[in-house]
Structure 1
Amino acid sequence: MTDPTPRPDGHALSVSGRLDAQTASAFRAALSSHVAAHRGHLYLDLADVSFMDSSALAGVVATLKALRARGDELRLTGAGPAVRELLSLTMLDRVLPLREDMA
């Protein structure tokens, strides 16, 4: 995960590689730490994520809940076909609309 990039309404993070059972714990901890340290919306760029499973998706959902509890939002951008399919199968694409880019 990259260092946060400031945005007018929050911060952006880029994630890369595989997000699976082996990396999910570190991924979730990094997201939780970021949410605790930064205010505003979180833009999570998934363009370089090659694979995501349900264990990593649980971290995304926990982050969404934490942000919404304080009035902020999670914005997912750049998701490839595999990530889009996972979000569609779990119907999270209805809760987390995907954006093509950070705009």
Structure 2
Amino acid sequence: DKYEHKYNFRFEEKGADEIQGHPRKIVESVRKEPEKRKEKRQEKMKKVEESLKKEKEEVKRLKKLKREEFKKKVTEIMSLSGLSEEEATELANTIDLEKEYDP
């Protein structure tokens, strides 16, 4: 009976009833994954972000200059209209340049 069982199942392997799976990433692998593309992509993104940041800072600086120029003009106009220098400066500072223009 033992011999017959052994003879009948001689082609079957151990663990044939289980599906063998392989991990997607092997942890103990010595092989290094190529990351040159990834590094170049990250460098490019950094350059783009830096250029955008510089542009925003430049726009901010130009807006500040324009605002100061406008306040100087308003102060000059106020002083020409007969107000004292302090009153003109105070009035120019109360004007909100950030809100929408409403004529």
- TM class by shorter chain equals under 0.3
Higher RCO, 1 vs 2 (CA within 8 Å, ≥6 residues apart) = 1
Structure showing greater radius of gyration is: 2
Under a length normalisation based on structure 2, what TM-score does the superposition of the two structures give? 0.23
TM-score between the two structures when normalised by the length of structure 1? 0.23
Q: Which has the higher strand share?
A: 1
